[in-house]
Structure 1
Amino acid sequence: MTDSKGLFISFEGIDGSGKSTQARLLAERLRAKGREVVLTREPGGSPGAEEIRALVLQGDPDRWSAETELLLFTAARRDHLERTIAPALARGATVICDRFADSTRMYQGLSRGDLRAVVDQLHELMIGVEPDLTLLIDMEPRAALTRAKARATAEERFEDFGLDLQVRMREGFLSLAREFPDRFRVIDGDTSPEAVAQEVDAALQAPA
């Protein structure tokens, strides 16, 4: 669908891992080199998807079932792909996305229910795109959750599931990295932001 001429990079990791900061810093570094960069996020990244973001990230933890979440996230991702990601890639831009389908594979596919096969089926049917490179910022779950809760935003529905979900999510992301070794690069997030940024740059330079 994308007729991709650009580069599609996603950042993944548990809540509080620092992936959003690293996505922003990478975008700044690439723009300083003269590259067109679209920095976006999921859920969100387009007007319609941002409306769905408010539905899934706010409210009581039990507000939605894992199945309903999966449908909402897929709808948001489809709109995001159509309106933001695909046009940017088609014109040769670098798209940096804070979360993409791997988060759905984890949160709804494994950690919130036994839905991985359904996630993959929906993804193939409605999305059909994977990032060229996925940077997994790996961090100790307790420290990451403490950092995430300290932000004190309205979007804490998943953080409110607690440490157990964070632990399972970390294990799941590392499993995904082993499943897709050609696409994933694992970055140690338990260091300074500057050291993490250096690892990110090294991952971009490393041969596939």
Structure 2
Amino acid sequence: MALLAQSDPAPAPSGGPRRTPRTIALVGIDGSGKTTQARVVAAELAATGIRAVYRQNAGGRHWFGRMATLVGRTDAEDLFGRRGALIVESVLRWLAIARNLVRRLAHREAAVMDRYAVCQYASLRAHGARPSAERFARLAYRLFPRPDVTFFLAVDPEIAQERIERRGYDTETMEYLRTADAAYRSLPEYPTFVVIDANGTPEQVTKAILAEIGQA
């Protein structure tokens, strides 16, 4: 059922119309279009008079990957080791989410989140971390409320890889993209996601997301 959007993101009174979700999260594998869609959806909502903003919750993996190449390493895992890279990613994503939730409360805005806590759980699974690592992450991230709606951008790994190659600043193997997709779908939160077909054009994907929010 679509979520009816209003200009005031505050909760609706009992029996009243549904309001714009205060926290909208876009998640999915690399190349699914999370950043593009989060920016556009925030702009589209803002254009209707809703106080909506784009917020990024990156874990720094791409940034450290670029830094690694400058010092002769292949990627973040080569720079920090697999366990070290996952720890750094988990900490940076936690800090980003905490900062953005504080901003949301302070500014009374609707935050369109580019990634959220579930992205870290999926990353840990995709990188073969021990179950204890995910349990620890869940304890740390349990401070954060679940988004009002989480959109999972479902994309074929082949299409995702083509998009990653076109942007030109990083690479992902087909094996990892398939593993990451399976990791998201294995999460206990997955049944609560609103799955969006992200194989189409950016405009088609945006239209599908806005239709679910009630702004199409």
- TM-score tier, shorter chain, comes to 0.7 to 0.9
How far apart are the structure 1 equivalents of 2:28 and 2:198? 9
Structure 1 unaligned spans of 5+ = 45-49
Q: Which amino acid counterpart does residue 82 of structure 2 have in structure 1?
A: A
User: Quick one: structure 1 residues 88 and 163, their matched pair in 2 at CA, closer, same or farther if it must change by over 3 Å?
Assistant: same
TM norm structure 2: 0.75
How far apart are the structure 2 equivalents of 1:99 and 1:143? 20
Match of 1:110 among 108, 122, 125: 125
Query: In 1, are the aligned partners of 2:46 and 2:53 still within 8 Å (CA)?
Result: no
1:159-197 deviations in whole A, cap 9, x for unaligned? 34x110001111222233x64423x11100112222211
Q: Percent identity?
A: 25
Query: In 1, are the aligned partners of 2:184 and 2:190 still within 8 Å (CA)?
Result: no
Structure 2 unaligned spans of 5+ = 1-9, 12-20, 69-73
TM norm structure 1: 0.78
SS in 2 for 1:197: helix
Find the structure with the greater CA-based Rg: 2
1:46-103 deviations in whole A, cap 9, x for unaligned? xxxx7x8622565323223332223212321333234332231344211111112222
SS in 1 for 2:199: coil
How far apart are the structure 1 equivalents of 2:24 and 2:191? 15
- Give the superposition deviation at 1:12: 1.1
Q: Which amino acid counterpart does residue 170 of structure 1 have in structure 2?
A: D
Q: Which amino acid counterpart does residue 195 of structure 2 have in structure 1?
A: V
What is aligned with 1:135? 151
What is aligned with 2:3? none
What is aligned with 1:168? 179
SS in 2 for 1:9: strand
How far apart are the structure 1 equivalents of 2:140 and 2:134? 10
SS in 2 for 1:63: helix
Matched pairs, number: 189
User: Quick one: structure 1 residues 57 and 96, their matched pair in 2 at CA, closer, same or farther if it must change by over 3 Å?
Assistant: farther
Match of 2:58 among 43, 50, 53: 43
What is the alpha-carbon root mean square deviation over aligned residues?
2.7
1:129-151 deviations in whole A, cap 9, x for unaligned? 13222111111101111111111
SS in 2 for 1:181: helix
Query: In 2, are the aligned partners of 1:81 and 1:127 still within 8 Å (CA)?
Result: no
